[in-house]
């Protein structure tokens, strides 16, 4: 069994339902994302359009994150999923440096690396990933790539020539495919991030990686202290900690 | 206006989450810099011991492992401090994953530090026979003085992979295309020779002029080739679109451009000329000045090279 994902970008309408479902299902903390939908505006008015690109872990067959992880916290499951064992993770962030897709984050509550696991816990129980279930237009297609009769295999066969992966030149052999995408939607170097052109918010960068309320020394003291409970406000203020190195 | 700033065929991200900024920051720069000194003094020290009699460098036998020990511990401290779960460092030894250069490096660096510690203890108590005459450790060290020469070749050999494994970590960081294994391996090796010679220059006051001349030679060669490597990458990394986009953070000016060129001038160009001059006339003060400049410049160059690839949006 080799589980894979396919997103038909022709169907995606950018409702962000998958984003929310993922957050709820996996209790992903604020400021962190296992799955996000990026809006990309292409062209010049009046010949302009908006594209939506859901981005998650690609569960690569040749995963750089699995290779670089010093303690096998990132490991393959038999079904091809690249899973995370957060109880083993040492928080070196090597996987964040290795993943060409920026799909791994440092969980600010556990101070360990985390990412999309294709909802491995749900699959184990015979359920579909939360983002697949919630999608109102069935743009997310999930299944066994080794099974020629699965929906995803048939979808790939039906769209031969139009199926793409992100950054194929990295030789990661992703198991996450897109239909209806193009360079402008899938290649971050083909996109500009211009201040003033963002909807709702400014272009922002996290000024912390991991727990924003604890410094380096606190990491050593953490096992011996009771932490103040983190609330949403803890993660909203991005400017409350060092900009770099203090992660 | 959009029409004048955005090309019609370009795409603009209009809604996205906040992206992580620099993940490996100054602590990793300091980590790499300290490791360069820790392994470099052993490599350059071995070169000096091969070329000269021990009498010409009276304190080398114990200062070399002492400097290495200090900087290896700085390196290990910041390796640990940079972890989000520092106590789980033990997992590298309990659950090692051997495809990871982090794992292999941690094992090698730990062994290397242990052996350097043995060299330091033996070297120090041998050189100071009146210190702690009744201490069992001191007496054991003096009694096993010959062990120093037996393990030293192995330490020198081990210094090479310990120097280079960080380059492989960077090469395994597939997301950062600027870090290519061949270039990084050479950068690390030159950095170790540069840092090792610079550190030894600072303690070479009582050494023979010939030994200092050799240190100046190593410093000159290391600064020259380090500079060449950086220039090659700075100007000619255009075959990869990601590397080119990464270098734009330096090419475009700003803080990283300033830091990079300060690093190049202070760390490589100025020390090169001073070192070449010192090979003709033995000017200890000037050579020490070059050594300090080289160490400062090396930190700056490493810092820029570590951070700029992390600024590129990956998705």
What is the domain-level CATH number for residue B102? 1.20.1630.10
User: Is pLDDT at A20 greater than 80 in this prediction?
Assistant: yes
Look at residue A246 and tell me if it is in a domain.
Answer: no
* Residues 223-242 in B contacting A (C-alpha not used; CB under 8 Å): 241-242
- Is the pLDDT at A223 greater than 90? The verdict is no
Residues of A in contact with B78 (CB under 8 A): none
Residue B218, C-beta contacts closer than 8 angstroms, at least 6 positions apart: B44, B47, B193, B196, B197
Under a CB-based contact definition with an 8 Å cutoff, are residues A116 and A127 in contact? no
Of A26-30, A235-239, B72-76, B301-305, minimum mean pLDDT range: A235-239
pLDDT digits (tens, 9 = 90+) for A165-211: 999 999 999 999 999 998 899 999 999 888 887 887 777 888 778 87
pLDDT score of A210: 81
B133: in domain: yes
**pTM attached to this predicted model:** 0.91
Q: Give residue B91's pLDDT.
A: 96
Q: Is residue A138 part of a domain?
A: yes
By three-state DSSP, how is residue A27 classified?
coil
Burial-class residue B208 by CB neighbours within 10 Å (0-12, 13-18, 19+): middle
Residue A232 is predicted with a pLDDT of: 64
Share of chain A above pLDDT 70, in %: 91
Residue B3 lies in a domain: no
Q: Does A109 reside within a domain? A: yes
- Residue A8's pLDDT is what? 97
For residue B13, being part of any structural domain is answered with no
pLDDT of residue A244: 45
Contacts of A103 in chain B (CB under 8 A): 315
Nearest CA in chain B to A31: B18
Domain with B269, as residue range(s), is 22-311
Q: Quick one: pLDDT at residue A243?
A: 45
Which residues of chain A neighbour B173 with C-beta distances below 8 Å? 64, 68, 94, 97-98
User: What angle is formed at CA A120 by the lines to CA A115 and CA A122, rounded to 5 degrees?
Assistant: 125
Position B207 in a domain: yes
Domain count for chain B = 1
Provide the shortest C-alpha distance from residue B214 to chain A (in Å).
Answer: 37
Q: Taking residues A222-235, what's their average pLDDT?
A: 67
Q: Is residue B247 part of a domain?
A: yes
A241 within a domain of the structure (yes/no): no
- pLDDT at B44 exceeding the cut of 70: yes
- Please report whether residue A173 resides in a domain: yes
The structural domain count of chain A equals 1
Residue A213 pLDDT > 80, yes or no? no
CATH number of the structural domain spanning residue A151: 3.30.70.20
Alpha-carbon distance B27 to nearest alpha carbon in chain A (angstroms): 6
Mean pLDDT of chain B: 94
Out of A47-51, A190-194, B4-8, B288-292, the most confident range is B288-292
**Cβ contacts of A94 on chain B, cutoff 8 Å:** 100, 102, 169, 172-173
For residue A79, which of A27, A123, A35 has the smallest C-alpha distance?
A123
Which residues, in sequence order, are bridge partners of residue A143?
A: A4
Distance CA A176, CA A169 (A): 15
Q: What is the pLDDT of residue A246?
A: 39
Instruction: Tell me how far the alpha carbon of residue B206 is from its chain's centroid.
Output: 26
pLDDT at A235: 62
Tell me what the pLDDT averaged over chain A comes to.
90
Per the domain annotation, does B11 fall within a domain? Answer: no
Given a cut of 50, is residue B8 above it in pLDDT? yes
Identify whether A134 is part of a domain: yes
Q: Is residue B228 part of a domain?
A: yes
Cis peptide preceding A195, ω within 30 of 0: no
Write out pLDDT tens, residues B127-136.
Answer: 999 999 889 9
| CB proximity under 8 Å: A 56-75 to B | 64, 66-72
CB-nearest to B18 from A31, A47, A172 is: A31
Residue range of the domain that includes A46: 3-236
Residues A79-91 pLDDT 10s: 999 999 999 999 9
Look up residue B263 and give its DSSP letter: I
């Amino acid at each position: 069994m080799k589980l894979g994902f396919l997103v038909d970008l022709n169907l995606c309408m950018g409702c962000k339902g998958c984003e929310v479902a993922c957050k709820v299902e996996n209790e992903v903390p604020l400021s962190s994302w296992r799955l996000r939908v990026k809006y990309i505006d292409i062209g010049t008015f009046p010949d302009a359009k908006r594209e939506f690109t859901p981005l998650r872990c690609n569960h690569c067959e040749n995963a750089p994150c699995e290779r670089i992880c010093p303690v096998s916290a990132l490991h393959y499951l038999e079904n091809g999923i690249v899973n995370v064992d957060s109880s083993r993770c040492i928080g070196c962030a090597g996987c964040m440096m290795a993943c060409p897709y920026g799909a791994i984050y440092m969980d600010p509550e556990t101070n360990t690396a985390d990412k999309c696991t294709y909802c491995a816990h749900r699959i184990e129980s015979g359920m579909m990933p939360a983002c697949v279930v919630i999608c109102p237009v069935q743009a997310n297609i999930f299944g066994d790539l080794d099974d020629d009769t699965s929906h995803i295999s048939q979808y790939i066969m039906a769209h031969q020539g139009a199926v793409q992966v992100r950054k194929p030149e990295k030789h990661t052999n992703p198991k996450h495919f897109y239909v209806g995408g193009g360079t402008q939607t899938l290649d971050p170097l083909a996109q500009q991030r211009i201040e003033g052109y963002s909807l709702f918010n400014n272009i922002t960068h996290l000024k912390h990686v991991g727990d924003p309320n604890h410094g380096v020394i606190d990491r050593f003291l953490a096992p011996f202290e009771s932490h103040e409970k983190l609330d949403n406000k803890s993660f909203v203020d991005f400017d409350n900690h060092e900009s770099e190195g203090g992660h | 206006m959009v029409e004048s700033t955005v090309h019609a065929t370009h795409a603009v991200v209009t809604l996205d989450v906040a992206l992580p900024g620099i993940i490996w920051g100054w602590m990793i720069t300091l980590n790499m810099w300290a490791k360069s000194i820790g392994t470099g003094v052993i490599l350059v020290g071995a070169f000096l011991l091969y070329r000269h009699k021990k009498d010409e460098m009276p304190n080398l036998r114990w200062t070399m492992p002492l400097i290495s020990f200090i900087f290896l511990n700085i390196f290990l401290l910041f390796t640990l401090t940079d972890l989000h779960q520092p106590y789980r460092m033990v997992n590298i030894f309990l659950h090692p994953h051997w495809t990871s250069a982090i794992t292999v490096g941690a094992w090698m660096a730990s062994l290397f530090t242990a052996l350097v510690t043995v060299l330091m203890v033996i070297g120090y108590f041998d050189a100071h026979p009146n210190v702690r005459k009744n201490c069992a450790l001191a007496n054991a060290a003096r009694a096993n003085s010959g062990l120093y020469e037996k393990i030293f070749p192995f330490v020198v050999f081990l210094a090479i992979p310990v120097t280079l494994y960080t380059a492989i970590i960077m090469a395994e960081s597939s997301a950062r295309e600027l870090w290519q294994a061949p270039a990084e391996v050479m950068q690390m090796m030159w950095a170790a020779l540069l840092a090792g010679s610079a550190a030894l220059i600072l303690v070479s006051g009582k050494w023979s002029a010939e030994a200092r001349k050799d240190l100046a030679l190593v410093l000159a060669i290391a600064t020259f080739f380090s500079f060449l490597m950086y220039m090659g990458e700075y100007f000619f990394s255009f075959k990869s679109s990601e590397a080119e986009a990464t270098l734009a953070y330096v090419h475009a000016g700003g803080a990283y451009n300033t830091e990079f060129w300060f690093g190049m001038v202070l760390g490589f160009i100025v020390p090169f000329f001073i070192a070449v001059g010192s090979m003709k006339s033995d000017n200890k003060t000037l050579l020490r000045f070059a050594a300090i400049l080289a160490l400062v410049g090396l930190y700056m160059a490493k810092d820029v090279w570590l951070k700029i690839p992390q600024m590129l949006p990956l998705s």
